[in-house]
Structure 1
Amino acid sequence: MPGKHFPLPVTEEEIVELTVDALDALVRRLTPRALDPRPADDGRATAQSQALTRLYVVWQLRSALDRLEYEAAQDAVAAGAGYPQLGRALNITRQGARNRWPDLISHPSHAPADPNPSRSSCDDHDPSL
């Protein structure tokens, strides 16, 4: 069942606004570094080049965020979270989390019926065995 099961000191809307502000500042810092250093022919070409470079940087940022999301999910699993908790953290279902990261949590293909295979089931019934 989706929904946060951990306390948030601020609202989701506040988190979004803080994140947008921080990411916008990052994109504005990265964009000039990604621009071709050669001068453009005119002001319009420069504005277009800057806008397209900013778009490219935002697109690359999405790839970086996907990677960070996966790493955060790995950390959560290492701390004991399963697909239900991962799903709740993203406000999606357990199945949605499993679809998003199908191999994040490895499950053995089959578990043995008896965790102690050296004992037979009749050991409990006949103490002489």
Structure 2
Amino acid sequence: MTVPEITPEERAELDKALYDALNPLASAIRSRETGLPAARVWDASPVEVTLSVLAAWKVVDGEVKRLTERAAATAGSYGASYEQLGAVWGITRQGARKKWPDAVSRPAPGPADKSTLALFGGTAELMRSLSGGWGWTGRGADGASGTGVDGAPYVTAEEAAAHAGVFLKEHALDTGEQPRS
């Protein structure tokens, strides 16, 4: 999805709607700051008046950011990825993750996040941890039990499988066979 463009007509309508929404807010801010009644809040120097308008735009900007975060979180709750959020916003996947860190939740480990490895007469179970890394536990053919080093997760399932395979090879039963030359 590309970043949407709007037509000049749509921009004019948007500008009008924003100014119509901004004027009451700017008047309320100006009235609170000056203590003047609503009928006289714009009786001031042009600098003071325009600064009141700028202050109102700052409030609107904060509200737009809050509503944008809510929209990103809602999209994420329906399954949108950071890649999709970034594409809509015109930024990278990493930029979207940084901008809305809690918008997309990681799925809980499921059945596809476990597998069994059988080598050298032993077995090892590979599993994804809640942190997203991989670990393993195994029992060698000689009955020895083992697990990944200090429970530290490996980055990929393949890396965990390689370490589990080394463990299983080290705990294979000695069949008395000599290596072939």
Ranges in structure 1 where 5+ consecutive residues have no aligned partner: none
Whole-angstrom CA distance in 2 between matches of 1:54 and 1:85: 35
> 1:12 is matched with which residue: 6, 11, 17?
6
Q: 1:1-129 residue pairs with structure 2 within 5 A? A: 3-4=2-3, 11-14=5-8, 15-36=10-31, 37-38=35-36, 43=43, 45-107=44-106, 115-116=113-114, 121-122=117-118
Tell me how large the CA RMSD over aligned residues is: 3.4
CA pair 112-73 structure 1, distance change in 2 beyond 3 A: closer
Is the strand fraction higher in 1 or 2? 2
CA pair 81-114 structure 1, distance change in 2 beyond 3 A: closer
CA deviation vs aligned residue, 1:86-110 (integer Å, no higher than 9, x gap): 01111111111112122332337x9
Is the helix fraction higher in 1 or 2? 1
Rg larger in structure = 2
CA pair 83-13 structure 1, distance change in 2 beyond 3 A: same
Whole-angstrom CA distance in 2 between matches of 1:75 and 1:100: 15
Would the aligned equivalents of 1:31 and 1:50 in 2 still touch at CA under 8 Å? no
Whole-angstrom CA distance in 2 between matches of 1:31 and 1:114: 56
Counterpart position of 2:177: none
Whole-angstrom CA distance in 1 between matches of 2:56 and 2:94: 32
- Point out which structure has higher relative CO (alpha carbons under 8 A, 6+ apart): 1
CA pair 116-94 structure 1, distance change in 2 beyond 3 A: closer
CA pair 51-82 structure 1, distance change in 2 beyond 3 A: same
Structure 2 length normalisation: TM-score?
A: 0.50
How many matched pairs?
112
**Per-residue deviation, 1:114:** 6.7
**Per-residue deviation, 1:18:** 3.3
Whole-angstrom CA distance in 1 between matches of 2:6 and 2:24: 26
Share of identical aligned residues, percent?
A: 27
Would the aligned equivalents of 1:87 and 1:96 in 2 still touch at CA under 8 Å? yes
CA pair 113-78 structure 1, distance change in 2 beyond 3 A: closer
Amino acid at match of 2:36: R
Whole-angstrom CA distance in 2 between matches of 1:31 and 1:94: 36
**Per-residue deviation, 1:116:** 5.0
